[in-house]
Structure 1
Amino acid sequence: MIEHGADDGIYLLTGDDFGYALAVEPDPGPGAGPVRHLHWGAAITLDDARNLDARPATRAAPSGSWSQPRADQEEYVVDGGYRHDEPALSVEFADGVRSLDLRSAGVEVDVDELVIRLVDRVYPFEVMLHYRVEPGLGALVRSTELINRGAEPVLIHRAATAGWALPPRTDYRLTSLSGGYAAETQLTRRPVRIGRIVLESRTGITGHENQPWLAFDVDAGDDHGEVWSVALAWSGVWRATAQSLLDGGTHLTIGTGGELPSVLAAGERLDLPPSVGIYGGNGFDGLARRWHRYEIERVLPQPAALRPVLYNSWEATGFDVTAAGQLALARTARDLGIELFVIDDGWFRPRDDDTAGLGDWYEVPRRFPDGLRAVADEVHRMGLAFGLWVEPEMVSADSDLYRRRPDWIHRWPTREPTLQRHQYVLDFGRAEVVDWALRQLDRLVSDLDLDYLKWDVNRSLAEPYPGPRRRNPWLDHVRGFYRVLDGLRERHPELLIETCAAGGGRVDQGILSRSDWAWPSDNTDARDRLSIQHGFTQVHPTRAMACWVTDTPGVLSGRTMPLRFRFHVAMTGVLGIGADIAGWTAEESVQGRELIATYRRLRPTIQQGERFRLGAPDPERPFGVLFRSADGERIVIFAFALSIRHGARGQDLPLAGLDPTALYRDDSSGQTYSGSLLLHRGLRVELRGDYASTLITLSRVVGTSAGPSRTTS
């Protein structure tokens, strides 16, 4: 909902327990900001917003060294006038002037959307600020358009989507999803001090080091406290700068990144990727569920579909892919209860290792004497869905495509292109490359009747040549990539797509709006995955997180862990099997079959229920994850312990998400507990040794209320 006063230019945007207020002044005078920020946080009234607008603009004695106006008091900070704080927009006009001086030229309100039109006082240049409240989701979506209405080009040095100002405080803490290859999405916290904190990706993709999501709090825990959080829906280079000032003003600027200025030609417009802000008053776990609801209802393309249990043959066969070998694995997978069979790298030509073949998306006749379609048909006859791995943005130096079109890659014209992992990056900013990629993928999906594609990218983008027109190759590549995915989905709306980038190198709301789930990391070690998945689900829902059971010792870690522990960790997401199941013992096959059947039975609650954290991964004490079905009637609990010392008794694990007035029955033992007892005292879990885990299901007792005579500890 959007409220505004008749004469004072104040606008209040309200959603699910949040308020966002700003004031538009048609002509505040040269150098002044036309849109003032008033509030973002807990819900307030329009009169509260007026009260905030009446307060003095400065919180400390004025100084000639301070930026004017202050960044945390403007909605969109531009480079110009007496501003020294972090700008969202910096441009250069044809006469060399690098200063913007904007005024308001109109405001439009349409139910839950607000659009503010800003124009420069001298040059025919416009900025359109869009705000959209997502009713019931607690989210505010912001986007920005830049329009050059003049006859001369405008050089864009920096163009961020939005600035997000926080209430003035001096003791904020910043939380990010940081890490690196094989250790993505580590929940990382640091104090916000005077100065700037910059998180970014310069790799051409979202990046392994940071996801474009940040949160700020003062003293929040999992279940209490205020948190302000922001994401960017973009799958390329990006930059987020948190700036804190001496007087407590804190401001986040977030948008696309990169060091290359680009030209906005006469008459052109530039649409910047959306940024989403979610405020929560119930701690980080409550905030996570807000983000989950938003991505489920507004981002994921097929959110209601149950994700199948997948088998990927990579770790079983590597590049040694043959029709006979893959069909043998498919039969074993079928017998275990697998639903989707995927052939990974090595099915196309010539691909005996990673030195050749990318770009030549045709099957290898010697590997598939009857054709790959015959394998696909046989897999379908087994009752399994069928899918393939692809890496469409890449081309091997040793490939027919590169020999035919060496000009299609990202490169500087006077430099030798950099070969990484024996491959180059195709320039998806070129229309002919985008058309070629879409044709190739459409042909594969149609000819083979594919149900699934795993889209991978195993190197960073580099050497982005702007060309004579000074286009932005970083932005153009991502938009071309999106066009391929959008075209593929339009032609094959039921196709399942998994996004992968050497693990979790490209996970964001831009790619998730075009993919069904994401591969969080190449690291499938169950212990490491606990912290990776803990961070991943701070933002993204369970149904968007692929989790595999692989063999032990782990390929990357060398650790040995029980099969049950590996399964339980993977069952907290979209379950997949990546192990060499042909080499499993009879006992392992029986256990795997039982656990897959259990997952399929509990899948509606795990994938489509709400997720609650029962502590963070801890080397010394039990922790877990709880899932509550949409109707609240079924509870699924996974409890873990990395190590339990000798002689330790069972421990009580406090639960979350239960109705304190209800009764819950343990489906295995028949024991009944009150919700209040389970919330405050906990459920007794019996875990022994190293890498211990257990799965417990509870059912809400219908038609009863909690009472002391019906409970037990």
Structure 2
Amino acid sequence: MHSSTIFHLTNGGTSVVVDSTTAGLPAILYWGSALEETGSLDDFAAVSRPQRVSGGLDSPPRLTLVPQESFGWQGTPGITGHRDGGAHFARFATTTISASGTEFRFTAEDPHSGLGLEGSLVLTDAGLFRQRVQLTNVGDTPYEVSSILAVFPVPSTAGEILDTTGRHLRERSPQRHTLTTGTYRRESRRGRPGLDATLLLAAGEAAFGFESGMVHAVHSAWSGNHQLLVERTPSGETFIAAGELLLSQEIVLQPGDSYAAPDALGSWGNGLNELSQRFHQEQRSRPSHPQRDRPVTLNTWEAVYFDHNLQRLTQLADRAAAVGIERFVLDDGWFKGRRDDTAGLGDWFVDDNVWPDGLAPIIDHVRTLGMEFGLWFEPEMVNPDSDLARLHPDWILQADGRLPPSARQQQALNLAIPEAWEYLLDRMDSILSGHDIAYIKWDHNRDLVEAAGAISGVPEVHRNVTALYRLLDELKRRHPGLEIESCASGGGRVDLEILARTDRIWTSDCIDPLERLVIQKYTGLLVAPELMGMHIGGPVSHSTHRAHSLPLRASTAVFGHYGVEWDISELEEQESADLAAWIAVHKEWRSLLHSGRVVHADQPDPAMDVRGTVAGDGSAALYAYTLTASSASYPPGRIRFPGLDPTALYTIAPAAAALNHPGAGQSPLDWYQAALRGTPAVLSGRLLGSVGVQAPVLFPEQSILIEVRRTSARKDPS
């Protein structure tokens, strides 16, 4: 047994206080900014215990790490399941505890239910709070797990919820709600996180923003069905919980088997800028995180679609190399029978009708030009009109002997079938081994519906996700240095567990810069910019049919993993030169953009968007100011530049002035014109962050880049 002890974990500017004296399992008393002077932790625990009240239980229940009804908890339980219709109410008691300054571990048992529990709480160097829970069947008969949730308490001051919803071509659309008593739940039943998924469920002070307001958020690191909820009980506890959403019979533990719930990760901050930086810092600390410059990428999809013609593609590659592209990716349409999206998926053999000499001619040409070559796959999917489907109809996920409703004329393979998994590994390995391919664009273009085994009839989402992880891991093991992009109808599969195995996500199939401003802003709450594909589309967006200038399209994409999704093979000379100049600007700033702190300014005018990246040492920053619509004020107000060292002095100037809107206004603007003359204004980081400068007058849907650099110069006090 354990002794009654209060534990204080601290790391990365975060503290967590755990009380192990509670009945059943330990409870988290505090999660937030680092506590330097705590006083007596025993006293802190004593003043945190709930009071018995009329109409309540004799022993008031606690919000423990895994809340249990057997101890009186009447909110959402932390674990549900049953053993052949019985043992519904587990009653775990802690058996062992171990702790260090950054980690707390416990085990617990319920002999009556025949269950064992293990859990860990870890504070990472970035200050993220990670929880892991594992359940083991120590009984003699099978036990079905229905749900396991990791629970994160949030302060009682939280009064507002932020999450995101969306659809194809408009992922990560923010929505806010008042946090009231009761439960607000978000679920994905799509077999992937989904286009409407919320990456983070956040609860914070009313009207919290990017720069201010205490806010806590939780992410579920899982690439399949999941659940996130925020709950406030009538007794005053407020918490966020996260876990996998399990379908009936997906997890049936045989005696001795265990189920490890997905990692749940929490972050906090005084504003969303600080909260998201913890996630970015954590990603950058991974051994698998890309260490070299992110290659500027051209993807051929919107350039040629299914029209794979060697002459046209070599012409596109020539122009790509000339403007500074570093990676050339051949998208959908290269494999057997694939002339449109109605056939061929699953038949991963080079189509000799389109490529009579194989892929070698285009790959060799691309490599001769000094670019890497990438190739598109959609391994988890199959068209009914394919040799694979005709040979192995039982490999298709389906229920009751019928195919589910189709999407994009395709169905999903059951990767949990060993033979199907081996087939995909063999075909992809063969293509990669036979060609100089540095990169895979890995797509997943439909939600899963009735995702059951054709023979068993049992839902197979969980086993397909774990099979996907094994497939990715094995391909990376066999092909060291291979980079993989996670694409799922755009941003339909974005989570930290898929990113543990891939090197970037395709943020959205929509490249309209106005849509992308919002999509990238809220995807970036979780994902570091160097892991987010941000491409320059053509002059007219294929998804919205809006027309935009190159400066807007290019500046919107410049902060992320830069690329081009546009047929540039026949650009006029000036257009080509302008595109090359924008790519050069990205390369000039790339190391800062992919290592610095991402910031967004809370501008009172919603038409004025200010975002940027600040170097880790505060020495320089690049910001974009975009006017998304006409402003209510004319001229517009000031724009501020958050994230700078308040005690340092900085120069402020347009970045690559020739690329910005000519004149950047209808009349001269002092600080802008001074910078063009070579005598930029010098202001403190405090003034730039809190007061700002007069914004240039732009027409709607225009953008300029502004560079800020630390200087030792001081202005003449006269």
TM-score above 0.5: yes
**Offset, 1:466:** 5.9
**Offset, 1:178:** 2.2
* Within-5 A mapping of 1:447-486: 447-465=434-452, 473-486=460-473
| Residue number in structure 1 paired with 2:432 | 445
**Offset, 1:644:** 4.5
Select the residue among 213, 218, 232 that pairs with 1:230: 218
Gaps of 5+ in 1: 1-5
| Residue number in structure 2 paired with 1:688 | 698
Deviations 1:249-270 (A, max 9, x none): 1122210004323311111111
**Offset, 1:139:** 1.2
Number of residue pairs the alignment of both structures matches: 691
Select the residue among 389, 404, 410 that pairs with 1:402: 389
Residue 616 of structure 2 corresponds to residue 630 of structure 1: yes
Deviates more, 1:150-159 or 1:353-362: 150-159
Change (3 A) 1:102 1:365: same
* Within-5 A mapping of 1:13-52: 13-25=9-21, 32-44=23-35, 47-52=39-44
Q: SS of the counterpart of 1:643?
A: coil
Deviates more, 1:554-563 or 1:380-389: 554-563
Change (3 A) 1:643 1:172: closer
**Offset, 1:79:** 4.9
What is the alpha-carbon distance in structure 2 between the residues aligned to residue 366 and residue 307 of structure 1? 34
Select the residue among 136, 146, 166 that pairs with 1:179: 166
Gaps of 5+ in 2: 654-674
Indicate conservation of the 8 Å contact 1:167/1:250, yes or no: yes
Q: SS of the counterpart of 1:164?
A: strand
| Residue number in structure 1 paired with 2:274 | 286
What is the alpha-carbon distance in structure 1 between the residues aligned to residue 621 and residue 147 of structure 2? 48
Deviations 1:260-285 (A, max 9, x none): 233111111111111111222x2111
**Offset, 1:59:** 5.1
Residue 112 of structure 2 corresponds to residue 116 of structure 1: no
What is the alpha-carbon distance in structure 1 between the residues aligned to residue 4 and residue 638 of structure 2? 57
Deviates more, 1:645-654 or 1:195-204: 645-654
**Offset, 1:131:** 1.4
Residue 595 of structure 2 corresponds to residue 608 of structure 1: yes
| Residue number in structure 1 paired with 2:284 | 296
Change (3 A) 1:413 1:471: closer
Indicate conservation of the 8 Å contact 2:268/2:274, yes or no: no
What is the alpha-carbon distance in structure 2 between the residues aligned to residue 646 and residue 80 of structure 1? 58
Change (3 A) 1:96 1:309: same
Query: What amino acid does structure 2 have at the position aligned with 1:292?
Result: H
Select the residue among 698, 702, 709 that pairs with 2:717: 709
Query: What amino acid does structure 1 have at the position aligned with 2:700?
Result: D
| Residue number in structure 2 paired with 1:310 | 297
Indicate conservation of the 8 Å contact 2:182/2:231, yes or no: yes
Deviates more, 1:528-537 or 1:464-473: 464-473
**Offset, 1:650:** 6.6
Query: What amino acid does structure 2 have at the position aligned with 1:123?
Result: S
What is the alpha-carbon distance in structure 1 between the residues aligned to residue 197 and residue 84 of structure 2? 36
* Within-5 A mapping of 1:193-212: 193-212=180-199
Indicate conservation of the 8 Å contact 1:38/1:49, yes or no: no
Indicate conservation of the 8 Å contact 1:22/1:75, yes or no: no
Q: SS of the counterpart of 2:308?
A: coil
* Within-5 A mapping of 1:58-97: 58=50, 61-64=53-56, 70=61, 73-80=63-70, 82-94=72-84, 96-97=86-87
What is the alpha-carbon distance in structure 1 between the residues aligned to residue 633 and residue 106 of structure 2? 66
Deviations 1:261-315 (A, max 9, x none): 33111111111111111222x21111121221122224x8233222111111111
Query: What amino acid does structure 2 have at the position aligned with 1:36?
Result: A
| Residue number in structure 1 paired with 2:117 | 127
Select the residue among 659, 669, 673 that pairs with 2:645: 659
| Residue number in structure 2 paired with 1:371 | 358
What is the alpha-carbon distance in structure 2 between the residues aligned to residue 422 and residue 461 of structure 1? 13
Q: SS of the counterpart of 1:465?
A: coil
| Residue number in structure 2 paired with 1:557 | 544
Deviates more, 1:686-695 or 1:322-331: 686-695
* Within-5 A mapping of 1:149-160: 149-160=138-149
**Offset, 1:92:** 0.9
Indicate conservation of the 8 Å contact 1:524/1:554, yes or no: yes
Residue 153 of structure 2 corresponds to residue 145 of structure 1: no
Residue 260 of structure 2 corresponds to residue 264 of structure 1: no
Change (3 A) 1:646 1:424: closer
Query: What amino acid does structure 1 have at the position aligned with 2:90?
Result: L
| Residue number in structure 1 paired with 2:506 | 519
What is the alpha-carbon distance in structure 2 between the residues aligned to residue 79 and residue 488 of structure 1? 44
What is the alpha-carbon distance in structure 1 between the residues aligned to residue 58 and residue 371 of structure 2? 63
What is the alpha-carbon distance in structure 2 between the residues aligned to residue 204 and residue 67 of structure 1? 43
What is the alpha-carbon distance in structure 2 between the residues aligned to residue 519 and residue 476 of structure 1? 24
Residue 9 of structure 2 corresponds to residue 9 of structure 1: no
Q: SS of the counterpart of 2:628?
A: strand
Deviates more, 1:654-663 or 1:126-135: 654-663
Q: SS of the counterpart of 2:701?
A: strand
Select the residue among 475, 488, 506 that pairs with 1:488: 475
**Offset, 1:512:** 1.1
The alignment-based identity, stated in percent, is: 29
**Offset, 1:588:** 1.7
Indicate conservation of the 8 Å contact 2:28/2:65, yes or no: yes
**Offset, 1:414:** 3.3
What is the alpha-carbon distance in structure 1 between the residues aligned to residue 274 and residue 19 of structure 2? 30
Change (3 A) 1:50 1:647: closer
Indicate conservation of the 8 Å contact 1:617/1:623, yes or no: no
Deviations 1:308-328 (A, max 9, x none): 111111112111112222111
Query: What amino acid does structure 2 have at the position aligned with 1:690?
Result: P
Deviations 1:469-520 (A, max 9, x none): 8966121111000111111122223112111110111001011111111111
| Residue number in structure 1 paired with 2:525 | 538
Q: TM-score, normalised by structure 1?
A: 0.92
What is the alpha-carbon distance in structure 1 between the residues aligned to residue 604 and residue 520 of structure 2? 10
Deviations 1:324-372 (A, max 9, x none): 2211110111111111111111111101110101011111112222210
Indicate conservation of the 8 Å contact 2:397/2:454, yes or no: no
Query: What amino acid does structure 1 have at the position aligned with 2:202?
Result: A
Indicate conservation of the 8 Å contact 1:359/1:396, yes or no: yes
What is the alpha-carbon distance in structure 1 between the residues aligned to residue 582 and residue 60 of structure 2? 60
Residue 573 of structure 2 corresponds to residue 586 of structure 1: yes
What is the alpha-carbon distance in structure 2 between the residues aligned to residue 468 and residue 75 of structure 1? 38
Deviations 1:642-684 (A, max 9, x none): 2346994475311122223322234653313122332233134
Indicate conservation of the 8 Å contact 2:27/2:65, yes or no: yes
What is the alpha-carbon distance in structure 2 between the residues aligned to residue 20 and residue 323 of structure 1? 59
Indicate conservation of the 8 Å contact 1:67/1:85, yes or no: no
What is the alpha-carbon distance in structure 1 between the residues aligned to residue 566 and residue 605 of structure 2? 26
Indicate conservation of the 8 Å contact 2:506/2:533, yes or no: yes
Q: SS of the counterpart of 1:345?
A: coil
Q: SS of the counterpart of 1:143?
A: strand
Q: SS of the counterpart of 1:678?
A: helix
Select the residue among 216, 220, 231 that pairs with 1:243: 231
Change (3 A) 1:651 1:218: closer
Query: What amino acid does structure 2 have at the position aligned with 1:50?
Result: D
Aligned-CA RMSD value: 2.5
Q: SS of the counterpart of 2:451?
A: coil
Query: What amino acid does structure 1 have at the position aligned with 2:25?
Result: P
Change (3 A) 1:122 1:93: same
| Residue number in structure 2 paired with 1:3 | none
Deviates more, 1:675-684 or 1:491-500: 675-684
Indicate conservation of the 8 Å contact 2:395/2:454, yes or no: no
Residue 171 of structure 2 corresponds to residue 192 of structure 1: no
Indicate conservation of the 8 Å contact 2:396/2:454, yes or no: no
Residue 103 of structure 2 corresponds to residue 103 of structure 1: no
Indicate conservation of the 8 Å contact 2:232/2:239, yes or no: yes
